[in-house]
Amino acid sequence: MKIGILQSQPQFGSVAENVTTALSQIATKKADLWVFPELFNTGYQFISKKEVLALSEPIPTGPTTQSLIAAAEKYKTTIVAGLAEREGKNCYNSAVLVSPRGHITTYRKIHLFYEEKRWFAPGNKAFEVYSINYKSERGGTMKCRIGIMICFDWIFPESARSLALLGADVICHPSNLVLPHCPQAMITRSLENRVFSATANRVGTEARNTEKLRFIGQSQVVSPQGKILFRAPEDKLSAKVITIDPKEARNKSINAYNNLLKDRVEHYYF
Ligand code: ACM
């Protein structure tokens, strides 16, 4: 299966332009699954609730999700992309999963980071895993199970573990990382769950209030064995397609005696 990882630099508030720029990458490179960064259409550093309300969109009827669906149909691909969702008076830091069949689901970020807590309501739905189709090299239709978590969810190992317990082969991880630790930490998340992780981060800076945020790039794909299959630079745009075999994520046995999921001792855990 071919996974495309987009590392972009959205211009804050220029939604139509950011969407067009991101989708232009899908037009030139073929992949079964694309992962875009968190808030790929709006930019990250909101400074008022009014601004969030103005830039967020209902899903799936909003223009960004509709453009993503049209692109998924046109290029016969599946896309996971982060955007600000509006539902009534609430806004969520969300990621949509769309395919040629249309909108499949929306994940709402559960662990909000820093000032996101001022603008967004925390996710109110549990982690989920969905099956998507891809074409094998011999032309047959294969299934891959994908789960979604967003950026800061990485620091709570329960996020990736929940997705692994639900049977995810690939964790799609739209991000706007500012702390330095995540790219290395995701190696462990992949290793301890035997899953692929696909982190799509952004680059550049935003300084819309007194604080300057620098986004650390390094979008990456990590294998279930903890191998970095691809890592983008810290400060450059990138759209990279790499090939993986999702089946590699399905054997959780470490040796004849140990199995990553079956050896959990739940009654000793909090
Ligand atoms: C983050 O969760 N965007 C750091």
pLDDT band for position 241 (cuts 50, 70, 90): very high
The full set of domains in the chain, from first to last, is 2-268 (3.60.110.10)
Q: What is the pLDDT of residue 135?
A: 87
CA–CA gap between residue 92 and residue 51 (Å, rounded): 13
pLDDT digits (tens, 9 = 90+) for 5-51: 999 999 999 999 999 999 999 999 999 999 999 999 999 999 999 99
Catalytic site residue 38?
A: yes
Residue 109 is among the residues annotated as catalytic for this protein: yes
> So what's the pLDDT on residue 137?
82
18 closest CA partner among 39, 45, 32, 34: 39
pLDDT at residue number 138: 85
How long a stretch of residues is the chain? 270
How does residue 136 score in pLDDT terms, banded at 50, 70 and 90?
confident
Going by alpha carbons, the residue nearest to atom 4 of ligand 1 is 177
Concatenated DSSP letters of 28-69: HS--SEEE--TTTTT-S----HHHHHHH-B-TTTSHHHHHHH
pTM over 0.85: yes
Mean pLDDT of 191-217: 97
Q: Provide residues with CB under 6 Å of ligand 1.
A: 38, 113, 151-152, 176-178
Q: How far is the CA of 118 from the centre of ligand 1 (A)?
A: 13
What is the per-residue pLDDT across 62-121, written as a single tens digit (0 to 9) for each?
999 999 999 999 999 999 999 999 999 999 999 999 999 999 999 999 999 999 999 999
Q: Is 176 helix (H, G, I), strand (E, B) or coil?
A: coil
CA R_g for the chain: 18
Which value, to the nearest 10 degrees, does the dihedral of the CA atoms of residues 108, 114, 118, 123 take? 20
148, 151, 154, 213, best to mutate for ligand 1 pocket (most atoms within 8 Å of CB): 151
- What pLDDT is attached to residue 132? 96
Confidence check: pLDDT of 218 > 90 = yes
User: What atom in ligand 1 is closest to the CA of residue 150?
Assistant: 2
pLDDT of the residue at 121? 98
* Residue 172 appears among annotated catalytic residues: no
Residue of 91, 144, 151, 182 marked catalytic: 151
Contact 80, 172 (CB under 8 A): yes
Q: Cα–Cα distance between 145 and 149 in angstroms, integer?
A: 14
Instruction: Please give the average per-residue pLDDT across 243-250, as a whole number.
Output: 98
